[in-house]
Amino acid sequence: MPRRQGLDRALLVLGVLVLTSASVRFALSRGVAAPWIAPDEQLYGLLGRSLVNGEGLAVLGEGVAYYSVLYPLLVGLPFLGTEPATGVTGAQALQALLMSATAVPVFLWARPVTGPRWALVPALLTVLVPGLAYSGLLMSEALYYPAAVVAAWALARCLCDPTPGAQALFLGLLALALATRLQAVGFVAVLLVALGLLSAFERSLAPFRRLFPTLALLGVAGIAWIGARVALGGVGELLGAYAPLTEAGEYSLGGVARSVSWHAGALALVTVAIPLVALGVLGWEALRGRERDARVRALVATAVAYLTVTVVEVSAFASRFVDHVTERQLLSVAPPVFVAFAVWLRRGLPRPWPAISIVAIAVAAPTLLLPLDRVATPSAAADAPSTIPLEKLGQHMGESGLEAVYAGVAALLVALAVLIPRRAGPALAAIVALLLVGASVVASHELRDRSRETRLATFAEEPRNWIDRSGARDATLLLTSDRLWPSAWHELFWNESITRLVRLPEVERIGVVPQAVVDPGPDGVLRTQAGAPVEAPYVAAPGPVLVVGETVASAPPTEEQHGLTVWRAQGPVRLSQRVVGLRPNGDLHGGERADVRVYACGPGTLELTLLGKQGAPTRVVVDGAVVAERSVPPGGVWRPSVPAPPSADGSGTCVFELRTDGLVGSTRIEFVRAG
């Protein structure tokens, strides 16, 4: 009866823990301006809305390569019958609960080997990692975190008790993880490595024989998958949207090794190092054949295999595509390590010699060698929330101060794992928990602030669905070099009235969203590469681009990029004028040049309003000749009217060049046609 009461109390605490975590995470997510990380969040949101509306995995009506099916379904459900803002809120609430609920399988995994009281420790740590901030964003981590942890737990159960039911459960959960993110393909290697470790622990190949049905089914499934994908579209279709990962020529052994070192060090940030020491000690004892509990052997084999394979898999990816660490792809490694930590605490901190020294060095080395100047940077925030506190600390202390504090704290944590008295074991759990809480608070607030900055940089103070609110329908979004590429994804996500995307030739492709390359001819008509004119009732174009038609609505410029204007087009989309080279606030800096391109240029005048700021000479140049010049005094205004060249007959393009030796502002640049 006392044992039952203890379990009941632990389950009650677990329930309170999950609900409290979900509530706190949801409250924190309400301040996050999601979607923020372009194009990942917007793409998942658009795919989800398309999927739940019965249109399949498509964007703007066109199918895209496979990324995931379960996560778009999850994130799409809250958008059914609601506007995007309500859908985002619903997704944040669902994800906060889902990520927090990962504590449940972690508790169930730990309880048989630690007892219910100690099993609450890994459950608590699981919901404290800074990476749970992704519950406020539309990122697949929200589903992959619990899916991968449950799959790892099922693998450990298979290793311990490989009944047909346990093996079937593992295969089913592996399929679930694969449907969430293709990263789960690494579980095949995890299985093989875990079996190898367990065989070493038991001094027998029996683990491989016991799991032969699973190995055989995975082999058959793998062959069938490869055959189906190759038949569908060739070898390049094997990994769907992740096909570029197979380009082996782009990898280097040195680059991958360096990335492995970085990500091994990053694990210390995710787990606070001490639990890694615990796992290392348990692994050492199991390798020496001293671990008598089959459940612990299975736990250690799974945790070590999953950690090792995931670090290598993620590091290989990161070595090509990012210049920091991608902690978000390591998140699911932490819970199994926390379970091993609870076992070590429950046993009274066993620290056999020389194992503890070797393990401590193995943990400390990559941790201390982590290049903070490369990984604790503003660009790493979206991929590595645990590095945000280091970045903030570096802003206050400087690079050398940060490195000193980081090295000191890391060394202290490893030393505590080695030297703290056994009776103070619970203090180690408290230290890990407190550091995770502090890092989570800092990371959550920073993601909130940065996502809000991105929203302001994209929409200024306008509503995010301002194009829909304007009444425009079946609108075409024109991409030029005047706006940052993520803004296109934000506009697409929030404005369902955008049904087509086109870009000028100098603009790089912005991802998998369908987009046509168009170019204005001398008459200003936008034409595709096939020569067909672009037909659209409404066009959203950057502020420096004037379209022939009627202005419907405008979003103002920001410090980072030009504004956006919605036009009601008259017939084929035709540009009247485009200004290239001005800053978003209308300034032109010394040594720079702005071109005013007038399409179908005929008789008329270019009307300018220029603001003096430094009193430097400012010139208007046409066909290489200066046609107007003045040194506008600071605070002064110059309003020149520059006539079109005599040769302008309405059939070609005129180019007016603005040049200055200092700094000049502008409020009006408009070609007024005669008549």
Q: Residues 612-664: pLDDT tens digits?
A: 999 999 999 999 999 999 999 999 999 999 999 999 999 999 999 999 999 99
Shared-domain flag, residues 639 and 531:
no
pLDDT recorded at residue 248: 46
Residue 152 has pLDDT above 90, yes or no: yes
Average pLDDT over residues 393-415: 92
Average pLDDT over residues 172-190: 94
Shared-domain flag, residues 398 and 258:
yes
Looking at the domain assignment, is residue 367 inside a domain?
yes
Residue 453 has pLDDT above 80, yes or no: yes
Looking at the domain assignment, is residue 540 inside a domain?
yes
pLDDT recorded at residue 226: 78
Residue 241 has pLDDT above 60, yes or no: no
Q: Are 300 and 291 in contact (CB under 8 A)?
A: yes
pLDDT recorded at residue 237: 53
Residue 472: pLDDT band by 50, 70, 90 thresholds? very high
Looking at the domain assignment, is residue 261 inside a domain?
yes
Residue 612 belongs to domain with CATH number: 2.60.120.260
Shared-domain flag, residues 595 and 571:
no
Residue 238: pLDDT band by 50, 70, 90 thresholds? low
Residue 521 has pLDDT above 80, yes or no: yes
Q: Would the CA dihedral through 236, 239, 244, 245 be positive or negative?
A: negative
Strands ordered across the beta sheet of 498-503: 526-528, 516-520, 498-503, 475-479, 538-542, 564-569, 549-555
Shared-domain flag, residues 508 and 571:
yes
Count other C-beta atoms under 10 Å from residue 123's C-beta: 28
Residue 243: pLDDT band by 50, 70, 90 thresholds? low
Shared-domain flag, residues 472 and 505:
yes
Shared-domain flag, residues 337 and 448:
yes
Contact residues for 146 (Cβ-Cβ < 8 A; gap 6+): 98, 99, 101, 102, 105
pLDDT recorded at residue 233: 59
Shared-domain flag, residues 4 and 110:
yes
Residue 242 has pLDDT above 60, yes or no: no
Q: Please give the structure tokens belonging to residue 74.
A: 């999850």
Q: Please give the structure tokens belonging to residue 464.
A: 């995010």
Shared-domain flag, residues 509 and 590:
no
Looking at the domain assignment, is residue 215 inside a domain?
no
Looking at the domain assignment, is residue 171 inside a domain?
no
Q: Which domain holds residue 116?
A: 1-139
More confident residue, 8 or 159: 159
Mean pLDDT of the chain: 92
Shared-domain flag, residues 425 and 314:
yes
Shared-domain flag, residues 435 and 292:
yes
pLDDT tens-place string over residues 323-351: 888 999 999 999 999 999 999 999 999 99
Residue 236: pLDDT band by 50, 70, 90 thresholds? low
Average pLDDT over residues 419-439: 94
Domain final residue, candidates 575, 602, 619? 575
Q: Please give the structure tokens belonging to residue 335.
A: 């819970």
pLDDT recorded at residue 244: 52
Residue 7: pLDDT band by 50, 70, 90 thresholds? confident
Cα separation of 563 and 457, whole Å? 10
Looking at the domain assignment, is residue 532 inside a domain?
yes
Domain final residue, candidates 539, 559, 575? 575
Shared-domain flag, residues 566 and 588:
no
Looking at the domain assignment, is residue 319 inside a domain?
yes
pLDDT tens-place string over residues 482-507: 999 999 999 999 999 999 999 999 99
Q: Are 113 and 295 in contact (CB under 8 A)?
A: yes
- Read off the pTM: 0.91
pLDDT recorded at residue 224: 85
Cα separation of 198 and 305, whole Å? 10
Looking at the domain assignment, is residue 153 inside a domain?
no
Count of domains observed in the chain: 4
Shared-domain flag, residues 424 and 467:
no
Domain final residue, candidates 92, 112, 139? 139
